């Protein structure tokens, strides 16, 4: 975190000698304890990385230095840079060890997996959960590669929905779940339902939702085998809203829009269906991905936690959606730190991890990571206290995984 000393920029630097942190363009697809940290004070304030110090205006409509007219700049091309000369904090390594509860098999070769492990060492990630959503040979192939690092990766499987629309669906899917468990899977995920039906990897359904009776046997078996279920319901609220000038997340929502899909269950309806399933299976642990996409209505998520002790949520890939409202979000973390788990879902490069640490650990204000997150919103740090960080970073996940290993 930054130290509030007038005229001084304090940078937290837990890097090893020679390991300089550079700004970069992040992966987009794939598809503090100050006492323990050396602090480098820099006299005077500094512009944030990439900021431009331009004190003279040139008139409305005049071409800029790139020859563009402001009237012709498209929203998708808007890349603001902070002009504020305020403290900037670099967190090279997380304050406490981390279990990343939401990632995918981004690394495809042994060399890439080894690089990932090295990156984890440098940023402080103890273990990563690989959500394959796969079954059969596809699961086995991923498991073989990542099982070479049993202390660093845990590989989860999916559900086999073959024949979901035929009489007698269920027993075969349960047998495959049991086979995957015997092969090494310790959880299930990431399951998806964005309103049209359940999806697990390449296995898709239409109209089969989490609370469907046909899902009952699978979720019950997960509870019996102590396999937590990572499930993604709906998508951010602005993807369901009109794609017009009032849409707060338009620059991202347009590419993932759901407002134009007929007969789709909306976000609120999907959250209801998730809760129905969670209530039906109190012996099964559910992890709602991405705050259950209630990052815009955390009060409702808190109510879900209050009613359902077997429900957790990961915070993956929703840093940009929560960082614009740091005070409210910090209060939410304070109240529900025992139900939130750290996750990324954004590749495995060091700069990506460090961006999440900056948001969670520091009090930095008004900075941008447009290439990483796809929004034009400015971001702010939450400055979470040690007790909350310990729970979110590792303790809650260890509790969940401990149940899986029992």
Residue 370 inside a domain? The answer is: yes
Residue 13 inside a domain? The answer is: no
How many other C-beta atoms are found inside a 10 Å radius of the C-beta of residue 119? 18
Residue 252 inside a domain? The answer is: yes
Written as six digits, the tokens of 134 are 């796969």
Name every residue whose Cβ is closer than 8 Å to that of residue 100 and which is 6 or more positions away in sequence.
Answer: 125, 127, 128, 129, 342, 343, 344
Dihedral sign, CA of 392, 393, 395, 397? positive
Output the pLDDT for position 53: 46
List, in sequence order, the alpha helices (H) in 281-369: 298-307, 319-322, 326-336, 350-361
Q: Are 60 and 70 in contact (CB under 8 A)?
A: yes
Q: Name the DSSP class of 62.
A: -
Q: Which range of residues forms the domain containing residue 263?
A: 98-405
Residue 78 inside a domain? The answer is: no
Output the pLDDT for position 267: 97
List, in sequence order, the alpha helices (H) in 61-215: 110-123, 136-146, 171-183
Output the pLDDT for position 29: 35
Residue written as token pair 């993932």:
256
Residue 85 inside a domain? The answer is: no
Q: Which of 346, 305, 318 is nearest to 234 (CA)?
A: 318
Output the pLDDT for position 331: 98
Low-confidence ranges of the chain (pLDDT < 70): 1-67, 403-406
Q: Which of 205, 249, 256 is nearest to 234 (CA)?
A: 256
Residue 320 inside a domain? The answer is: yes
Q: Which of 245, 293, 316, 356 is nearest to 102 (CA)?
A: 316
Residue written as token pair 């406490």:
96
Q: Which of 385, 296, 302 is nearest to 339 (CA)?
A: 302
pTM (2 d.p.): 0.85
351-390 pLDDT per residue, tens:
999 999 999 999 999 999 988 887 888 999 999 999 999 9
For residue 102, CA distances in Å to 19, 28, 36, 128, 268 come to: 26, 16, 28, 7, 23
Residue 308 inside a domain? The answer is: yes
DSSP string, 223-288: HHHT--EEEEES--GGGTS-SSTT-TTHHHHGGG--TT-TT---HHHHHHHHHHHHHH-TTS-EEE
6-30 pLDDT per residue, tens:
333 344 444 333 333 333 333 333 3
**Strands (DSSP E) along 328-404, which ranges?**
340-341
* Rounded (10°) angle between helices 350-361 and 110-123: 30
Q: Are 253 and 241 in contact (CB under 8 A)?
A: yes
Preceding peptide of 190 cis, ω within 30°: yes
Count structural domains, the chain.
1
Output the pLDDT for position 49: 54
How many other C-beta atoms are found inside a 10 Å radius of the C-beta of residue 339? 21
For the domain that residue 117 is a member of, what is the CATH number?
A: 3.20.20.140
269-308 pLDDT per residue, tens:
999 999 999 999 999 999 999 999 999 999 999 999 999 9
Residue written as token pair 């955390």:
298
For residue 389, CA distances in Å to 33, 70, 381 come to: 11, 42, 13
Residue 62 inside a domain? The answer is: no
For residue 290, CA distances in Å to 235, 312, 314 come to: 9, 11, 6
Written as six digits, the tokens of 73 are 């700049």
């Amino acid at each position: 975190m930054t130290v509030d000393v007038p005229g001084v920029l304090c940078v937290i630097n837990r890097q090893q000698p020679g390991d300089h942190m550079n700004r970069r363009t992040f992966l987009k697809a794939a598809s503090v304890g100050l006492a323990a940290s050396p602090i480098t004070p820099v006299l005077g304030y500094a512009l944030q990385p990439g900021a431009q110090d331009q004190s003279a205006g040139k008139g409305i409509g005049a071409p800029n230095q790139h020859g563009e007219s402001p009237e012709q700049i498209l929203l998708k091309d808007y890349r603001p840079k902070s002009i504020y000369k305020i403290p900037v904090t670099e967190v090279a390594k997380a304050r406490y060890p981390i279990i990343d509860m939401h990632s995918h098999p981004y690394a495809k070769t042994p060399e890439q997996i080894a690089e990932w492990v090295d990156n984890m060492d440098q940023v402080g990630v103890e273990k990563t959960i690989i959500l394959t959503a796969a079954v059969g040979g596809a699961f086995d192939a991923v498991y073989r590669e990542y099982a070479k690092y049993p202390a660093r990766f845990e590989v989860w499987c999916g559900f086999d929905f073959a024949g979901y629309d035929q009489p007698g669906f269920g027993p075969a899917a349960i047998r495959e779940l049991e086979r995957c468990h015997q092969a090494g899977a310790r959880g299930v995920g990431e399951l998806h339902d964005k309103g049209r039906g359940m999806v697990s990897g390449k296995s898709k359904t239409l109209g089969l939702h989490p609370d469907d009776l046909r899902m009952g046997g699978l979720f019950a078996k997960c509870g019996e085998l102590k396999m937590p279920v990572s499930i993604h319901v709906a998508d951010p609220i602005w993807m369901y809203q009109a794609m017009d000038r009032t849409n707060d997340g338009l620059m991202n929502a347009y590419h993932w829009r759901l407002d134009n899909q007929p007969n789709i269950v909306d976000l609120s309806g999907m959250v209801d269906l998730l809760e129905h399933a969670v209530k039906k299976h109190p012996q099964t642990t559910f992890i709602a991905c991405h705050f259950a996409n209630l990052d815009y209505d955390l009060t409702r998520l808190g109510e879900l936690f209050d009613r359902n002790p077997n429900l957790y949520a990961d915070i993956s890939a929703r840093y940009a959606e929560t960082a614009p409202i740091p005070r409210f979000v910090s209060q939410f973390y304070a109240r529900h730190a025992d139900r939130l788990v750290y996750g990324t879902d954004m590749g495995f490069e060091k700069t990506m991890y460090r961006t999440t640490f900056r948001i969670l650990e520091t009090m930095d204000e008004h900075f941008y990571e447009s290439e990483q997150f796809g929004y034009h919103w400015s971001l702010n740090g939450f400055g979470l206290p040690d007790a909350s960080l310990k729970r979110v970073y590792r303790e809650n996940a260890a509790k969940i995984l401990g149940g899986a290993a029992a």
